[in-house]
Structure 1
Amino acid sequence: MKIRLAMYEALKSINVPEPKIESVIQAMESALHPSPAVKSDSDIAQFRAALSQLEVSLTVNVGVMLFLTVTILFAAVAFIC
């Protein structure tokens, strides 16, 4: 909202007519804030690939942590007995 008011005041200060001020502000807002629904297929494919890599990484990390936990548990039991 502050940007809209600042743009209005700037255009008004250089004597731009009211209807043109509104048109310019609407055009600039639509250019600055594109709709999130306009994602291309390549963007979605890149997101899915990154998500797949993250899934693999998390699976490996959880597996390593589980292995280390079981190993430490067995070592502790063997040390106690």
Structure 2
Amino acid sequence: MKNRLAIYKALKAINVPEQQIEAVIQAMDSDMHLSSAAISDPDYAQFRAELSRFRVSLIIDIGVMLSLVMAILFAGIAFIH
């Protein structure tokens, strides 16, 4: 609603006729509706599932690297003493 008013005022300020202003606003509303509908596509669900798998993989990789760093640290401390 706020965007519609801002667009209306901007177009009115540059002397665009009322009919064209309404057409622009309706076209933008239609485009916004289509964009939000596209989000619920199966592709979006597939993307979220893949992102979830990537997150788990990343957490495991970080854990392995942290374990290796700790092992190297302890080995270095044991070597010094």
TM (norm. structure 1) is 0.60
Pair 1:6 & 2:7 matched? no
Pair 1:69 & 2:70 matched? yes
Aligned residues: 76
TM (norm. structure 2) is 0.60
Partners in 2 of 1:40 and 1:60 — Cα distance? 31
Structure whose alpha-carbon radius of gyration is higher = 1
Structure 1 residue ranges, 4+ long, deviating more than 6 angstroms after superposition: none
- Mark the runs of 5 or more structure 2 residues left unpaired by the alignment: none
Residues 1-80 of structure 1: matches in 2 within 5 Å? Answer: 1=3, 2-7=6-11, 9=12, 13-17=15-19, 21-22=21-22, 24-32=24-32, 34-35=35-36, 38-80=39-81
Q: Percent identity between the aligned chains?
A: 18
- Mark the runs of 5 or more structure 1 residues left unpaired by the alignment: none
